[in-house]
């Protein structure tokens, strides 16, 4: 890689760390890997970010902000109900390939620092978004356009269908003997499968 100026060392480290965490995973990526790939040194990484965990948390916060905005924007929209559901699912399948470590990091945050994660989520006022989505869904149920389904159960099902394939990526790669490229291609097809599956499940 070309030499970089000191003024953009921090950004370069961030960019490279993001790429390596996606390509190799958090556990398999070392500070030295990041320093070498960004044409910096370990001291630079520690100076700007402290530790690998701190560096990853910055990347996680950035990705979480984007994902939360996308998801809440979809659920808060006035578009037709089925289109809203499709956009909601698209938000996960379009962003998580870029940040596949998000689900595991969220599980880690739940185990070690649930208050910090709750604080991040509450900034987005999820109660208002959930209430609006619940009203939309109950209205569709009253109109007979979707079958009666508990809103929370439905939301949990969608979340599971969208997040599980990314959480268990490494496991699936091993048991199915697939490459990363093959799995990425599978996920593109799987997104449409999930959309069709969810919409069929709502049919009265």
The per-residue pLDDT for range 85-135, each reduced to its tens digit, is: 999 999 999 888 877 777 777 777 676 667 777 877 787 778 888 899 999
Confidence band for 6, pLDDT divided at 50, 70 and 90: low
Confidence (pLDDT) at 5: 53
- The pLDDT tens digits of the residues spanning 132-187 come to 999 999 999 999 999 999 999 999 999 999 989 988 888 888 899 998 889 889 99
Q: How many CB atoms lie within 10 A of CB 43?
A: 10
Q: Give the global pTM.
A: 0.76
Q: Do residue 83 and residue 36 come from a single domain?
A: no
| Domain CATH number, residue 83 | 1.10.357.10
Q: Do residue 13 and residue 83 come from a single domain?
A: no
Confidence (pLDDT) at 7: 56
Confidence (pLDDT) at 117: 74
Residues of the domain holding 26:
1-50
Confidence (pLDDT) at 114: 74
| Contact (Cβ atoms closer than 8 angstroms) between residue 164 and residue 191 | no
At 177, is the secondary structure helix, strand, or coil?
coil
Q: Do residue 43 and residue 60 come from a single domain?
A: no
Q: What is the DSSP letter of 148?
A: -
User: DSSP letters of 146-196?
Assistant: S----HHHHHHHHHHHHHHHHHTHHHHHHHTT--HHHHHHHHHHHHHHHHH
Q: Do residue 45 and residue 139 come from a single domain?
A: no
Mean per-residue pLDDT over the chain, rounded: 86
Token pair in block for residue 149: 């389904």
Q: How many CB atoms lie within 10 A of CB 5?
A: 7
Q: What does the longest C-alpha to C-alpha distance in the chain come to?
A: 63
- Annotate 71-83 with b (16+ C-beta within 10 A) or e (fewer): bbebbeeeeebee
Return the higher-pLDDT residue of 21 and 117: 21
| Domain CATH number, residue 13 | 1.10.10.60
């Amino acid at each position: 890689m070309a030499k970089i100026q000191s003024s953009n060392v921090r950004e370069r480290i961030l960019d490279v760390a993001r790429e390596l965490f996606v390509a190799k995973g958090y556990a398999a990526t070392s500070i030295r890997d990041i320093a070498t790939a960004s044409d910096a040194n370990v001291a630079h990484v520690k100076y700007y970010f402290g530790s690998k965990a701190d560096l990853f948390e910055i990347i996680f916060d950035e990705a979480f902000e984007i994902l939360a905005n996308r998801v809440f924007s979809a659920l808060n929209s006035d578009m037709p109900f089925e289109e809203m559901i499709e956009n909601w699912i698209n938000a996960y399948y379009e962003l998580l390939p870029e940040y596949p470590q998000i689900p595991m990091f969220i599980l880690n945050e739940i185990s070690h620092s649930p208050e910090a994660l709750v604080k991040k989520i509450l900034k987005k006022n999820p109660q208002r978004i959930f209430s609006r989505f619940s009203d939309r869904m109950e209205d569709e149920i009253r109109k007979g356009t979707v079958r009666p389904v508990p809103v929370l159960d439905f939301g949990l099902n969608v979340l599971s269908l969208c997040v599980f394939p990314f959480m268990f990526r490494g496991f699936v790669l091993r048991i199915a003997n697939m490459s990363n490229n093959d799995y990425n291609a599978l996920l593109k097809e799987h997104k449409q499968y999930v959309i069709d599956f969810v919409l069929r499940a709502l049919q009265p």
